[in-house]
Amino acid sequence: MLPTRPYKPKDKAKVEVGVQVVERWILARLRHFQFFSLMELNREIRRLLEDLNQRPFKQLPGSRKSTFEALDRPALKPLPAQDYVFAVWKTAKVSIDYHVEYNRHRYSVPYRLAHERVDLLVSARTVEIFHQQQRVASHLREDSQGGYSTLTEHMPKAHQRHSEWTPGRLLNWALSIGPATRDVVRWQLESKPHPEQGYRSCLGLLSLSRSYGKDRLNAACLRAIKVGSPTTNSVKSILQQGLDQVTETHQKAAPLPAHDNIRGPRYYH
C-alpha cells in the first residue's frame, strides 16, 4: 500500500466521496436534533446509518447493504487469534563485547558475530536480532539506559566462568580477607553502570591475596581508601611498592616564625 500525498484528496477519491455521503445523509440530518447523552446520539446515528445503507443506488442495482452481503461478507475471515504487534526495524553493528545497543541499552548476541552488521526487530516487549535473515538472539526489551541484557550461551568460554559469580559471593570472599577489602569491592561494584562490569576488577583484586597474603591485601585496601583511590591498580601499586607496610607518623607542625612579611589573621580585620 502507498500512502496518499498530503492535501491531495484526488489520490483517494472514493474515500472522500464516502465521507461526503456520510456528511450529507447522517451529519447534516443530525443538526435538527438535540441530544442529552451519547447513548441517544449513537442510537440515532445507527438508525440513519441503516437507512443510508439500504438506500437504492441511482445507477447500479441494489444498495450498499445488498452489495456487502453479496460481495464482502462471503470473503470475510475471522480476526487473528493474536493481536497485531507493531514493531520497527533498525540496523546496528555488534560491538567488540558482542552486544548491540538500542535506546542506550545493550543486548547480547553470539560472540562470533562481533563487528558484524545485524538487524533489530523491536516491539514494545521484545528485541529480536537477525543476522543474514536468521534470528540469532531474542531479549525482553529493557528501558534502563546503560544496562546490559546478556545471555550466558552468547559468551565465550572464558567469559562464561565469570557468570558463576554474583555480587554477594564477591563481597563474602572480600570480607573473609578483611573489612577494608570488602569496602573496596563494594565500591568497584557500585561505581559501574552494571555490577557485572566490575567482576573482572574484583577478581583481579581478590587474587592478589595469593601473592601477598590476606593481611597485606587488606592493609593495602585500607591505604587505598584513605588516599581516595580504591581501584585494583592502586591497591596493586601499593603492594608492589610496599607502602602497606610503612607506618604512618604524624608530627605536629612547628609554628611559623615571626616575620614582617607574615601579617597574620588580624591584618584582615
Tens digit of pLDDT for each residue in 121-178?
999 999 999 999 999 999 999 988 877 888 888 877 765 555 566 778 888 888 999 9
Could you count the other beta carbons within 10 Å of the beta carbon of residue 235?
Answer: 28
For residue 202, the one-letter residue type is C
- What is the distance between the alpha carbons of residues 241 and 211, in angstroms, rounded to a whole number? 14
Q: Is the CB of residue 143 less than 8 Å from the CB of residue 104?
A: no
Q: Is the CB of residue 238 less than 8 Å from the CB of residue 220?
A: yes
Q: Of 183, 185, 165, 174, nearest to 214 (Cα)? A: 174
Per-residue pLDDT of the chain (269 residues), as tens digits, is 778 898 888 889 989 999 999 999 999 999 988 999 999 999 999 999 999 999 999 889 999 999 999 999 999 999 999 888 899 999 999 987 788 999 988 899 998 998 899 999 999 999 999 999 999 999 999 988 877 888 888 877 765 555 566 778 888 888 999 999 999 998 888 887 666 667 778 888 888 888 899 999 999 999 999 989 888 899 999 999 888 887 765 545 666 677 777 776 777 76
Q: Return the pLDDT at 195.
A: 66
- As a whole number, the mean pLDDT across the chain is 86
3-class DSSP assignment, residue 107: strand
3-class DSSP assignment, residue 137: strand
- 90: enclosing H helix or E strand: strand 87-93
pLDDT tens for 79-91 read: 999 888 899 999 9
Q: Is the CB of residue 148 less than 8 Å from the CB of residue 108?
A: yes
Q: Quote the crossing angle between the two packed helices 199-206 and 232-241, to the nearest 10°.
A: 20
For residue 179, the one-letter residue type is P
Listing from the earlier edge strand, what are the strands of the sheet with 148-149? 99-102, 105-108, 148-149
Q: Return the pLDDT at 163.
A: 59
Could you count the other beta carbons within 10 Å of the beta carbon of residue 222?
Answer: 19
- What is the distance between the alpha carbons of residues 200 and 205, in angstroms, rounded to a whole number? 9
- What is the distance between the alpha carbons of residues 216 and 238, in angstroms, rounded to a whole number? 10
Q: Return the pLDDT at 197.
A: 65
Q: Is this structure's pTM higher than 0.85?
A: no
Residue 231: phi and psi, rounded to 5, are: -105, 160
Listing from the earlier edge strand, what are the strands of the sheet with 126-131? 87-93, 117-123, 126-131, 134-140
- What is the distance between the alpha carbons of residues 223 and 219, in angstroms, rounded to a whole number? 6
Residue 228: phi and psi, rounded to 5, are: 75, 30
Q: Of 141, 225, 257, 155, nearest to 196 (Cα)? A: 155
